[in-house]
Amino acid sequence: MKERYELPVFSVLERICQTARAEVNTRHYDQLYRLLDAESRQCVTDILKASTSTNGFGWSTLKNEPKRPTPRYAVFKKRFLAEFRVSFDAGEVLSRAKPINWKLIQSEWENIVKIMLSLGRRTVQQSTLVKKLCG
């Protein structure tokens, strides 16, 4: 190597990258924002407002890094995809993969009503009920 080059300190490179990323993101956000209608813009504005509540809704929720899916989520996804079809081609985005078994609903109607009343009166927790139903 004939010539020597001195690299800047890592923190300088990191700062340059952060500035470039912020500029690119701002351009993308501006382009997307211009494509939205008034109602959607208001929705985005509401999300980005500072959250004063303790539950963390709004921007504070959106800026969190996504977590890794848990095994429970993988099981749910598998069962969901077995029961429903998702299609963005037609007007109906979500449809049942199998027809509804109305005879089963009629035969189990008393149990369904008991479950609904238990949930409505809060005599049973949802998690307990799901565990019992899913076996």
Query: How far apart, in whole angstroms, are the C-alpha atoms of residue 123 and residue 117?
Result: 9
Contacts of 10 (CB under 8 A, 6+ apart): none
The confidence score (pLDDT) of residue 78 equals 84
Does 94 or 4 have the greater pLDDT score? 94
Q: Tell me the pLDDT tens digit for each residue of 50-91.
A: 655 555 555 666 666 667 777 877 888 888 888 888 777 766
